[in-house]
Amino acid sequence: MIQSMTGYGKATATFADKKINVEIKSLNSKAMDLSARIAPLYREKEIEIRNEVAKFLERGKIDLSLWIEKDTTESGTPINTAVFESYYNQIKQLADSMQIPVPADWFQVVLRMPDVMTKVEIQELSEEEWEVVHKVIIEAIEHLVDFRKQEGAALEKKFTEKINNIHQLLDSVTPYEKERVDKVKERIIDALEKTISVDYDKNRLEQELIYYIEKLDINEEKQRLANHLKYFMTTLESGNGQGKKLGFIAQEMGREINTMGSKSNHAEMQKIVVQMKDELEQIKEQVLNVM
């Protein structure tokens, strides 16, 4: 089954007093284009994270976010009592030595001094925590892949419908081909006899008509287009990672349809060609989303 390059995945886990969040989004792109926003504690693992994402997702414009939420029940930022006491003693000594009163709001003054309010942070990433983080990343990737598969199934259904439509349109060209040849002959003979009013060599005219009609023949284009349609479906059914190939096949289909249009020389056939082009354009637009 093919996969879409559009997807979304999210996973969370807890470790100690932290909630670890991973969110991954992807859009279509010709190659892997990964943008990662990683919490400072885990940045030492960025290369490993990037390799993991590339291994599973292969292509696409990927946006990965890895962040931490602290437990709201955690106590507030602690006061460094030793530093607080040191500042207080220094202020008191200065006040005594300079014979000035201690500030009335000395408590607020000391709290604003550097390093009085300390933050407890884990400076090193433990193996246990990284194991949890790694599992969360893999889980988010798996959710994104599942999303891509669902989108891929919808794309496959759409492609099948469009290819079948082109097949039917291609078959509908056949009844007009003989009619077209007869009209070309009639138009040329009518021009010679009525408009130009000249005598002509009928054998030579037949030879010229055969040459002219051969140039308008679209049997080869029809056969090649039918082969491309079949090849498209075979490639579609072969599985994931076929986006570029499907794009190339669609281009070849377009060439054959354009040539048929330039050779058709018949109003109804040209209408059918326009309809085929419309179906093909919808295929080309969606092929850009295929892995």
Report, as an integer, the average pLDDT of 15-19. 88
pLDDT over 70 (residue 119): no
Q: Which pLDDT band holds residue 98 (cuts at 50, 70, 90)?
A: confident
**Which residues 6+ apart lie within 8 Å of 139 measured at CB?**
9, 11, 22
Tokens of 72: 């709201």
Average pLDDT in the chain? 85
Q: Summarize pLDDT for 149-170 with one digit per residue, the tens.
A: 999 999 999 999 999 999 999 9
pLDDT of residue 217: 81
Q: What is the mean pLDDT of residues 75-98?
A: 78
Q: Across residues 245-264, what is the average pLDDT?
A: 93
Instruction: Extract the tokens encoding 270.
Output: 């040209």
> pLDDT by residue (tens digit) across 171-190?
999 888 777 767 766 677 66
Cα first-last separation, the chain: 11
Rounded Cα gap, residues 200 and 144, in angstroms: 73
- pLDDT bucket at 112, cuts 50 / 70 / 90: confident
Tell which residue, 169, 61, 253, 200, has the closest CA to residue 53.
Answer: 61
Nearest C-alpha neighbor of 139 from the set 53, 60, 248 = 53
Q: With 0.85 as the threshold, say if the pTM is over it.
A: no
